[in-house]
Structure 1
C-alpha cells in the first residue's frame, strides 16, 4: 500500500493515534501535513517524520483557521489528496450533568471540525478530480455507551456526513469512509478509566475488563498500529467500490 507523494492532511496529528497514522503515511511515501491546535507540537511531529512534511496551526472549530491552514497546504504542495479528520476530545458525564458549553465543545471538535475541514478541501479535490476524505469515528458511531452523549452523537453524525459526501463527490473522484476503532489505550482512554469507575460505582479493573473490553473476543485493547494500518488501507484504496462505508477495528467488540 503506497501513497506515492500524495498530500495527506491529518487533524489532531501531533500525538496519539493521529501521530501513529502520520508515521504510517510517511513510511508509505506520503507527504504528511500535521494540522493541530498546538502548532509547536505539529511542527515537531512533522520534523520527526523526515523531509517533505509540514506542520500547520489549525483549530478545527474555527472556519477561518481551517481555511487558512488548507490554503497553506495547497500553496505549498499544489494539491490535497487525503484528509483524515481525527481531532477529538472526550468528556465523561451523565446527560443531565453536561453543561451546554461542554456538549458544544465535544460536538464541535468532532463533527463541526469534520464538516469544516471537508468543506475546505473539497473544491481542490473536485478540481483535481480525485481525493479521499476519512473520518475517525468509533464503535460509538454505531452504538451507544453511557456517560458519552455528545461523543456518541457526534460520532453517529460522522456517518451521515461521510455518506452524503460520498453521494455528492462520487462522480468527481472523491470518496469518503469512516474508521471505527474500539477502545485504544491512549491518554484519552486512560483518563476515562477512573472517571467511569467513579460514575458507575465499580472498580477501575471492572471498567477495563467489563465495560471497555467485555464484548471483545480476546479482552485486548485495539492498538494505534491496528488503526493506522486500516486508515492506510482506506487511503490507498483505488476506486469508489469502497465509499460511504465504515470499518470497525475493535477486536470483535462490534461485528457487522
Structure 2
C-alpha cells in the first residue's frame, strides 16, 4: 500500500518538469492522477506513458486562467475517478526583465497563470473535497522566491509571495472539512524553465552562463547543488499524505539550504 493509495490527484502543468515528476511519484504511491496541462497532446502522452491501461492516469486540457476549462477539467476527473483528494497547483511561467522595462501585459500574464490559476483550480477542487467528507490536501508550487527577492523577477516574486497568503486562507477555511494546504518552495531546479533563464540572465547581467549558475543561482546553497525534481516530488508526497492538520498553512523550503527559515 502506497502513502496515497486510491487518492485522486489533480496536478497542473504535469506534462513536463516538476509537475510530471510529482504525478509519476503519486502514481507510484498508489494515487490516481490527472495530468492537467495547457498542452493536451503532451498531457495525454504523459498519462499513457505512466499508465497504458488508462485506469489510473488521464490527461486533461487545462488552461488554468480559463475558469470554464478549469471547472470542466476538474469535473471530468471527479467523474472518472470518483472525486478529488489532492490538488497540486504547479502550472507556471517565468519572464525576466527589470521593472522599468517590464511590459504590463507580461506582468498580467504571469500573475494570471500563477495566482488566478491557483485560485480557480483551488475553488473547483475544494467544492469536491468539501462535499466528499474525506478531507483533502491542496499543495501550491511556490519558490524560494516566496520568501526572498531577486532582481529582474518582479511579477514572479510577487506571485510566489501571494501563494503563501492564499495557502493560509485555504488552511483556515478548509480545516473544518479536513482540507489541508501547504506551499512547497523549491530552490533552482534544472527544469526547462530554469535552463531558459541561464542564457537570459547571462545576457542581462553581462556574465557567463557558468557564472550565472555559480554566483547567482546556487551561491547561497550549502553544497552548490541544484534542487532536484525528485527532492520536490518526495516533499509533495509527504505533504499530500500527512494525516493531520499539524502542518497545514505552512510553507516548506526545499533548496539545499539556500533559504533557511
TM-score (norm 2): 0.97
CA distance in 1, matches of 2:200, 2:94: 11
- Could you tell me which of 107, 112, 124 is aligned with 2:111? 107
User: Quick check: 1:226 aligned with 2:227?
Assistant: no
- Could you tell me which of 52, 63, 72 is aligned with 1:59? 63
- Could you tell me which of 109, 127, 131 is aligned with 1:127? 131
Partner-residue secondary structure (3-state), 2:207: coil
User: Quick check: 1:198 aligned with 2:203?
Assistant: yes
Q: CA RMSD in A?
A: 0.8
1:86-129 deviation line (CA, Å, top 9, x unaligned): 00010111111111110011111111100000010111101112
User: Quick check: 1:239 aligned with 2:244?
Assistant: yes
User: Quick check: 1:152 aligned with 2:153?
Assistant: no
CA distance in 2, matches of 1:14, 1:33: 10
- Following superposition, the deviation at residue 204 of structure 1 comes to 1.4
User: Quick check: 1:78 aligned with 2:79?
Assistant: no
CA distance in 2, matches of 1:196, 1:38: 27
- Following superposition, the deviation at residue 2 of structure 1 comes to 1.2
CA distance in 2, matches of 1:126, 1:242: 19
1:46-93 deviation line (CA, Å, top 9, x unaligned): 111113211110100001110010111111122100000000010111
User: Quick check: 1:117 aligned with 2:121?
Assistant: yes
Please say which of residues 197-206 and 151-160 is displaced more in the overlay: 197-206
- Following superposition, the deviation at residue 219 of structure 1 comes to 0.5
- Following superposition, the deviation at residue 200 of structure 1 comes to 1.3
User: Quick check: 1:254 aligned with 2:247?
Assistant: no
Partner-residue secondary structure (3-state), 1:241: helix
Please say which of residues 71-80 and 85-94 is displaced more in the overlay: 71-80
**Equivalence for 1:91:** 95
Moved over 6 A (4+): none
* Unaligned segments of structure 2, at least 5 residues: none
Please say which of residues 71-80 and 59-68 is displaced more in the overlay: 71-80
Aligned length: 256
TM-score (norm 1): 0.98
